[in-house]
Amino acid sequence: FYINTDVTYTFTGSAVTGTYGTATAKQLADSLYTSQDNTDGLIPEGKSVGDVKVEGLKTQYKNKFNAEAAGLLAKTDWYVIKAADVTDYNVPNNIKTYRAAVRTKVNAMEKQIDGCSDVDALITLLTYTNTGTKEDPVFTRPLGEFPDEVV
């Protein structure tokens, strides 16, 4: 989430202390290729002005959760494929409901991520906290979780 400066070492007698300068937050938004990048010949083949140059943290986390959703859905894809191939077969309702819930949840996650105004807000969204007790911990995060698998 942050980029630290190089470490600086100080020596006092036999003790060595390493310190960092002020950390800089990584970009939330994507950076795009500009006209100046084009003028300077910095745009690779297949890319143009306005294309993503470097993905920001929001895009990185949305891609992560989309990949997780795709992995969850892949486990039940065979039901959908069978229904497309076999005319008298229907996807069971619990599978349809689960697949819809996964898609709904990942869309909600993307919206929450897009709503983050700074890196600290994104960190808060992703951070698990104990909402239970020490004896009976329940770890949750504001972003929430995907629905329990049905397979």
pTM metric for this prediction: 0.84
7 touches 20 (CB < 8 A): yes
Give phi and psi for 78, each to the nearest 5.
-60, -30
- C-alpha 5/C-alpha 20 separation (Å) is 6
Residues 41-99: pLDDT tens digits?
999 999 999 999 999 999 999 999 999 999 999 999 999 999 999 999 999 999 999 99
